């Protein structure tokens, strides 16, 4: 489920519910999510710690504990649920934090792609995946000049470049399609074919779309089970993603679906050149 707006929504929702809770026990039912630590090592470090805050960088959540930073990535399908301790454990709930107030935080992930990494206190932003992230939409350092420097010599499709988290952090498959539609840029165009005005547009449009998506609680598609904080409303704002065959809102041309860099990609073949 998670691109920046969905992860931000999860962060905000969790903060309202579990801040200042003390971890009494940790259950790990799929150790691949926490490797290279063992379940025992992972639990031993975390038990007794208090959740003081939750930060976010790109698509990563950083749980600020009393003695450590716990860095979590939801990958494709990771979700958090808060349930009473007595609730049955779902087969896809792979990591469970038991708090002293009889509630639990449960990480649910059908595909087991999610990751948990324990870092020294205050060092969450130095975790492996995080330290290489580029600026997020809206970050003052994400300027037209910055994008130009990163994209103008590349032969890669602009969609792949915008999905590259080391260039821009936070965009994923849905929002990149939406940004390129608004910018009227064809996703397969090599970075080096973009013009001055394209770089400027991509900065402004990515900021606008991400801000609006955060405001609406993110996008919920294909998720019939509503999960904590991620039953968003931005799906109603989508212009191309998932809308194959629907008329383009600008020119009525049917939206088409192609594959770019292995990812399903939606666009208007008339508006996007």
- Select from 19-27, 42-50, 109-117, 202-210 the region that touches DNA (CB under 7 A): 109-117
CA distances from 94 to 4, 46, 54, 81 (A): 23, 16, 20, 11
Rounded Cα distance between 75 and 112, Å, is 9
Among 42, 61, 232, 243, binds DNA (CB under 7 A): 232
Choosing from 15, 112, 208, 263, which is the catalytic residue? 263
Examine residue 173 and tell whether it contacts DNA (CB under 7 A): yes
Catalytic residue flag (residue 150): no
DSSP structure string for 174-206: HHHHHHHHHTT--TTSBGGG--HHHHHHHHHHH
- Select from 21-29, 42-50, 196-204, 259-267 the region that touches DNA (CB under 7 A): 259-267
Catalytic residue flag (residue 263): yes
H-helix or E-strand containing 106?
strand 103-108
**Is 250:272 a contact under the CB 8 Å cutoff?**
no
Beta bridge partners of 254: 247
- Select from 14-22, 81-89, 106-114, 199-207 the region that touches DNA (CB under 7 A): 106-114
Site string for DNA, 28-67 (x = CB under 7 A): ----x-------------------------xx--------
Among 15, 83, 113, 125, binds DNA (CB under 7 A): 113
Handedness of CA 174, 78, 21, 34 (dihedral sign): negative
Rounded Cα distance between 156 and 190, Å, is 5
The footprint of DNA (CB under 7 A) covers 1-3, 6, 32, 58-59, 73, 75-76, 91, 110-113, 128-129, 154-156, 160, 163, 165, 172-174, 218-223, 230, 232, 259, 261-264
Enzyme catalytic residues: 2-3, 59, 263
């Amino acid at each position: 489920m998670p691109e920046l707006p969905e992860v931000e929504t999860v962060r905000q929702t969790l903060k309202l519910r579990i801040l200042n809770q003390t971890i009494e026990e940790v259950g790990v039912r799929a150790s691949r999510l926490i490797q290279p630590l063992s379940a025992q090592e992972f639990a031993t470090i975390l038990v007794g710690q208090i959740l003081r805050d939750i930060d976010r960088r790109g698509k990563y959540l950083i749980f600020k504990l009393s003695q450590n930073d716990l860095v979590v990535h939801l990958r494709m399908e990771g979700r958090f649920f808060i349930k009473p301790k007595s609730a049955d454990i779902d087969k896809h709930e792979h990591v469970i934090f038991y708090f002293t107030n009889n509630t639990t935080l449960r990480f649910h992930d059908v595909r087991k792609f999610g990751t948990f990494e324990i870092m020294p206190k205050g060092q969450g932003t130095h975790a492996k995946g995080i330290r290489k992230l580029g600026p997020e939409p809206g970050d003052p350092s994400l300027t037209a000049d910055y994008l130009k420097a990163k994209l103008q010599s590349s032969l890669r499709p602009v969609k792949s470049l915008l999905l590259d988290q080391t260039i821009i952090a936070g965009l994923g498959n849905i929002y990149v399609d939406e940004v390129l539609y608004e910018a009227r840029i064809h996703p397969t165009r090599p970075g080096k074919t973009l013009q001055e005005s394209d770089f400027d547009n991509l900065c402004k449009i990515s900021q606008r779309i991400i801000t609006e998506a955060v405001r609406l609680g993110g996008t919920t598609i294909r998720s019939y089970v509503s999960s904590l904080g991620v039953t968003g409303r931005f799906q109603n704002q989508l212009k191309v993603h998932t809308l194959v065959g629907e008329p383009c809102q600008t020119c009525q041309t049917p939206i088409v679906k192609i594959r770019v860099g292995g990812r399903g990609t939606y666009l208007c073949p008339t508006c996007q050149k």
